[in-house]
Amino acid sequence: MEKQNKEKNFFAKLKEGLRKTRSGITSRVDELLKYYREIDDDFFEELEETLIIADVGVQTTQLIVEHIRKRVKDEKIGDVPQIKDLLKEEITSILEKGSHDISLKSPTVILVVGVNGVGKTTTIGKLANRYHNEGKQILVAAADTFRAAAGEQLELWCKWAQVPVIRHEEGADPAAVVYDAVQSAKSRKTDVLLCDTAGRLHNKKNLMNELEKINRIIDREFPDAHKEVLLVIDAVTGQNAITQASLFKEAVGITGIALTKLDGTAKGGVVIAIKSQLDIPIYYVGVGEQMDDLQPFKAKEFANALFGS
Ligand SMILES: Nc1nc2c(ncn2[C@@H]2O[C@H](COP(=O)(O)OP(=O)(O)O)[C@@H](O)[C@H]2O)c(=O)[nH]1
Ligand SMILES: [Mg+2]
């Protein structure tokens, strides 16, 4: 019963987090369905426009609309409201394709990367709390040593989550922090080591070199650990997120994505673009600034929250 309540709250929260996107996509689709008497070219054009405005991306929108057009023709669909079901099915199938959960077999190292301000530190705090509550031994490495404030912010989150942090002085070598954290994780029998990193993109080459070095240290010093590289992207940045992902993918090989700030945008359609254009699973979505505002991404649930069911 309690589990059921929790799941219900989860879904309500996701739905609330998607409020702006719902009014961007769903309300506009509903208007279209009311306005049009038949499914013609104008209808499809407006449907396309609606999806592009919600940041589903031109390429992905065309793919979706093409599929719907084909199904309308093949299945002789003439009933306008039925389009909503088709749309939901198409979106669900894109979101479901190749998706899987993060693997947390013990020990696991999660290297968290992404540009400045996307929500890396916040996401680590939320994850540390979630995994700690699941009974796992957690350790966090404060490898964003660029500003002292970054380490302080992380320490605060970890205090709330009641998990230990390895932290060096401001300006220290981030790879040395990770090195220390790995040794400590091995001796403490940590289940999950979460590594925060800096994201200063104005010095792209240095940042990528730094991340590659950290990545190598983890591989060399902790070969028995399962490794995940979690790319954090901010839904508000829209299509730019796709460019960021390609950049990080090349440098450190992303295994999964956490998409934050879905609550802050009407352009949450970017989830669909990301899933369709990058062959990377989405592990988590962020729908607010509080500790429990990070949810595992579930394709069906997400589509339901988007289209209301
Ligand atoms: N509304 C909202 N804000 C978020 C979310 N995730 C992070 N933030 C905010 O984004 C800002 C930057 O986060 P931070 O973790 O410092 O980013 P970092 O530079 O990547 O480490 C902070 O003000 C966070 O509270 C989210 O899912 N929703
Ligand atoms: Mg940070």
- Considering the domain architecture, whether residues 89 and 127 belong to the same structural domain is answered as no
pLDDT of residue 112: 98
- Rounded to whole angstroms, the Cα distance separating 262 from 99 reads 19
pLDDT of residue 86: 95
Q: Which residues surround ligand 2, an ion (CB under 5 A)?
A: 120-121, 150
Nearest ligand (C-alpha, residue 258): 1
pLDDT of residue 204: 84
Probe target for ligand 1 pocket from 14, 20, 122, with the most ligand atoms within 8 Å of CB: 122
- Ligand 1 atom closest to residue 232's alpha carbon, by position in its atom list: 20
- Rounded to whole angstroms, the Cα distance separating 235 from 128 reads 22
On whether residue 162 sits in a domain, the answer given is yes
Looking up tokens 């997400």 gives 302
Domain hosting residue 19, numbered range:
2-96
CATH number of the domain where residue 174 is located: 3.40.50.300
Cα–ligand 2 centroid distance for 1 (angstroms): 37
- Considering the domain architecture, whether residues 52 and 117 belong to the same structural domain is answered as no
User: Tens of pLDDT along 169-192?
Assistant: 999 999 999 999 999 999 999 999
pLDDT of residue 7: 67
Choosing from 96, 130, 163, the residue where a domain stops is: 96
Put simply, whether the predicted model's pTM sits higher than 0.75 gets the answer yes
Could you give the number of structural domains in the chain? 2
pLDDT of residue 2: 59
On whether residue 260 sits in a domain, the answer given is no
CATH number of the domain where residue 69 is located: 1.20.120.140
pLDDT of residue 178: 98
User: Tens of pLDDT along 124-142?
Assistant: 999 999 999 999 999 999 9
- Considering the domain architecture, whether residues 138 and 174 belong to the same structural domain is answered as yes
The DSSP secondary structure of 68-121, one letter per residue, reads HHHHHHHTT---TTHHHHHHHHHHHHHHHTT--PPP-PSSEEEEEE-STTSSHH
**Residues in the chain, pLDDT under 70:** 1-8, 309
pLDDT of residue 129: 97
pLDDT of residue 201: 73
Q: What is the CA radius of gyration of the chain?
A: 21
pLDDT of residue 5: 67
